[in-house]
Chain A
Amino acid sequence: MFSDLELDLFLKALYETVYMSFIATIFVCFFGLLLGIFLYLTSENGMLKNKYAYLSLSFFTSLGRSIPFLILIVLLIPFTRLILGTILGPSAALPALIIGATPFYGRIVELSLHEKGKELVETGLSFGANTFNIVLKILIPESLPSLIRGLTVTTITIISYTSIAGAIGAGGLGNLAYLYGYARNKIEITIIATFLIVILIIFVQLIGDITSKKLSKK
């Protein structure tokens, strides 16, 4: 049905999307967890309750979540150029993907920790554990299934963000569907590229579901 050339086109785009999403997810997992923990700790019910710290963290989180992704890419151009030496291609999309998705995951982490927080913390305190140990050894392990589910949602959000990164020559499946499908009126390319995105997202969701299920059975 397709020449080798078009197969190459899809493989390259698939690789670009997976590359961007995968690397971004790793960073977002780390920074988002950190952000979420601080949001939780400084909040009303947290152990390091601090109104001002919470409000300013919360403000920047909301700010990060409200900037349209394409504008975020543009705003970050000087920063991207500084740390990567280029403003083009899949790698150049990473800073915007990470900074765009971290606040999203941060909020999910905050919510997850609040879910089981109060009881667990009281138990921990009664054993004489300090804040650091309570977070690391009680809160995170106990909330892990919910944190994984949140990460799944975040990864899927990142995958949809990558479509927009086509603006800076990052390629990817969304860009292929739009530029080589829609803009060139080649409907079959749009359909196949979109289908690949659907498969990718179902795959991510499946892995997320299985992992969180296994963890919650323990």
Chain B
Amino acid sequence: MKKIVNILILVIVSLTLTGCKESNGYKVGASPIPHKEILEHVQPILKEQGFEFDIIEFTDYVLPNASLDSEDIIANFFQHTPYLNNQIDEYGYDLINAGGVHVEPIGLYSKDYSSIDSLPNDLEIIISNSPTDRPRLLKLLDDAGILEIKETTTNEDIIKSSLGSISELFNSNKTVTFIEVDTPMLYTNYVNKSGDAVLINGNYALDNGLNPLEDALVIEGSASEYVNIIVCRKADENNEFVKALVSVLQSVEVQQWIADNYGGAVVPAA
């Protein structure tokens, strides 16, 4: 009897220990919204095709590529091409773009001013402290006519510049100053009327119930180069699961679902 109890205990302990591992399907890394939601939407579709996968949620932008490089996940879905290229340059990853899915337009929001034209000359804009967002933010302000990026300025200059010297990289007839905060704090600053205007990333605008199409003074166009892509290792370029995942995500039905589900705030891009 005692022997049986001992064996039982052994079994329970080893089960508990191994239980920490997820099912032996594929693992895909993703940001919470909308990436994870979109992946959850396609999970049953891929299951029908015989592919099961787990979604690993990341709230940081460095680890998903590091995990992909270290083969902890098979693919990730959170970034756009300029960011991927930047990461490849910096870390020497052998990663490739497996296919584009959608764009999350960044928008300029303000509680105090109702149009671009009414913005004050002494303009304080609150921005995300994510380095790779910077060129994108300036490009949007350039498109909106608030400033003009100098021809000699490269994306690299914009990323590496400190906030104190960033104004040397563009011309503007306004005095534009930037304040950097954590991306989740952007909306809080908008609600509390901090600064004159806030540049809010698409997913955070969505999370907080803003409709970029209606609430923003200006948003990025859908032809933006910042299409969110599925990324995998070069070695998995022809992996069946990766191919199936991308083709389902780019299918007419899923692209339509994205458009319907996010009311234009997440723009299908395939």
Residues 58-89 of A at the B interface (beta carbon under 8 Å): 74, 77, 81, 86-89
CB < 8 Å neighbour of B188 from A5, A87, A179, A180:
A87
A57 neighbours in B (Cβ, 8 Å):
none
What is the CA–CA distance of A182 and B60 in the complex, to the nearest angstrom? 13
Whether A74 contacts B181 in the complex (CB less than 8 A), given A88-B194, A179-B129, comes out as no
Q: Quick check: A167 and B131 within 8 Å, CB to CB? A: no
The answer to whether A88 and B179 touch (CB under 8 A), given A77-B192, A184-B159, is yes
* Chain A residues whose CB sits within 8 angstroms of the CB of B90 once the complex forms: 185
Q: Is B126 positioned at the interface, with any CB of A under 8 Å from its CB?
A: yes
> B164's contact among A8, A167, A169, A183, by CB below 8 Å, is which?
A8
Inter-chain contacts of B185 with A (CB < 8 A): 74, 167-168
**B130–A183 contact, CB under 8 A?**
yes
- Residues on the A chain within 8 Å of B62, using CB: 182-183
**Any chain A CB within 8 A of the CB of B174?**
no
A77-B192, A87-B194 known; A5+B165 contact, CB < 8 A: yes
By beta carbon, the residue of chain B nearest A70 is B182
| Interface majority SS (helix, strand, loop, mixed), chain B | mixed
B195 within 8 A of A: yes
- Which residues of A have CB within 8 Å of B126? 88, 169
A196 at the interface (CB under 8 A from B): no
List CB contacts (< 8 Å) of B126-151 with chain A: 126, 129-131
Bound CA–CA A169/B185 (angstroms): 10
| Complex partner residue of B192 from A5, A8, A87, A89, CB under 8 angstroms | A87
Query: How many residues of chain A get a CB closer than 8 Å to chain B's CBs?
Result: 22
A167: B residues at CB distance < 8 A? 181-182, 185
CB closest chain-B residue, reference A5:
B165
Bits for A122-138, please: 1 = Cβ < 8 Å to B, else 0: 00000000000000000
B162 adjacent to chain A (CB < 8 Å): yes
| Residues 6-27 of A at the B interface (beta carbon under 8 Å) | 8-9, 12
**Interface check A95, CB cutoff 8 A:** no
Q: Which residues of B contact A81 (CB under 8 A)?
A: 192
Chain A nearest Cβ from B134, distance in angstroms: 10
**Contact A166 B129, beta carbon cutoff 8 Å:** yes
Which residue of B90, B164, B181 has the most chain A CB atoms within 10 A of its CB atom? B181
Interface string of B84-115 (1 = CB under 8 A from A): 00000011000000000000000000000000
Q: In this complex, what residue of A is CB-closest to B182?
A: A167
A to B CB contacts below 8 Å, 15 in the list: A8-B164, A12-B164, A77-B192, A87-B189, A88-B179, A88-B194, A88-B195, A166-B129, A167-B185, A168-B181, A169-B129, A179-B180, A182-B62, A184-B160, A185-B91
